[in-house]
Amino acid sequence: MFYPKLVVVTTLQVFLISAAVSYYNLTAPAVVSSLKKFLDDWLLLLEQRVRNFPIRSTKFVLSSSKNRLHFFTKSELSSYDGSVKSKGLYLAILGRIYDVSRGREHYGPGGAYHIFAGRDATRAFVTGDLSAEGASDDLTNLSNEEIIAVQQWADFYDKEYELVGILKGTYYNSDGNPTRSLEDYKIRLNKALKWKQEEDAEAERFPPCNSEWIQGGGGRINCKIHSGGVKRRWAGVPRKLLKPGSKHSRCVCVKNDGTFQKEEDNVNDEEAQSFNRRGDFDHPNLLQYSNCDPEAVSCKLQGDD
């Protein structure tokens, strides 16, 4: 997910540092440290709020609200960037325009999010690419994770700010109806949500290992009952999980006793009971770490791991 720290405007920092140094007679390093902490804390809080937003059924079809919304061209929207002679402070995401004037300190000139004002830069919310090409509404080639993040941002603005208009072009036509691009996005979002469900289910079955790097001792991996942020009744042992069709693997914690966590598409209850109480050890996509006891809950990483 895009981390908004990337868009903190350098000129704002310079201005605040200069003002603080002259007014309070402070040393520059102290001001830089304080300012950085303030910005980091605020941006981290916003990132966490967006990440924790559940995917909601955002109204792609405007229906009854359409009549009271203004339809903007890109040129018209650009005059709402919060600058001195601008008409207001708006931003767009997925073609929906929100009034963010109550967040002027963040979206106005010099604010950390000013790059998004007066335009639809949906793509930049999740990529951090603030170039002329990157700060656009084109969502081509975004990953499933990024598509979900786009929707989380869209839901965030839909909840926190007033919807004031629709941007004619990529996502809505001049009548306010969804375009093919928006329909394609909805299809991609549904596929991404299905992918996430599968990923979450796999993480429940094979939680990520804990990893650490000890100076002079190298890397270690281990499994505990809460490793990977997945609480469970068993700790498991470290294994490499291979993705079908990929050369890459990731470290997961594997249930190593009792009945395995059956895959409902492949195994029935009778077959599940016939296994020899080795947990998920017999899963075909698992590999053991070299020079590590098969039952060890902690392993030292070797050069070929």
Distances (CA, A) of 212 to 200, 219, 250, 298: 23, 6, 15, 11
Looking at 27-31, 182-186, 281-285, which range is the least confident one? 27-31
247-292, pLDDT tens digit by residue? 789 999 999 875 555 544 454 555 555 444 566 777 888 999 988 9
pLDDT of residue 21: 40
pLDDT of residue 173: 95
105-115, pLDDT tens digit by residue? 999 999 988 99
**8 Å CB contact between 176 and 69:** yes
Q: Which residue has the higher pLDDT, 301 or 74?
A: 74
Whether the per-residue pLDDT at 44 is higher than 60: the answer is: no
pLDDT of residue 50: 53
pLDDT of residue 61: 52
1-27, pLDDT tens digit by residue? 333 333 333 333 433 344 444 444 444
Q: What is the average per-residue pLDDT within 169-186?
A: 95
Q: Is 15 left (phi over 0), alpha (psi -120 to 50) or beta?
A: alpha
Rg (CA), the chain: 25
Whether the per-residue pLDDT at 176 is higher than 50: the answer is: yes
76-94, pLDDT tens digit by residue? 999 999 999 999 999 999 9
Classify residue 144 as exposed, middle or buried by CB count within 10 Å of its CB (0-12, 13-18, 19+): middle
Whether the per-residue pLDDT at 210 is higher than 90: the answer is: yes
Class of the CATH domain delimited by 57-198 = alpha beta
**8 Å CB contact between 63 and 177:** no
Per DSSP, helices labelled H in the chain are 10-24, 28-51, 74-77, 104-107, 124-127, 144-160, 180-205, 269-274
Averaged pLDDT of the chain: 79
CATH 3.10.120.10 domain extents, the chain: 57-198
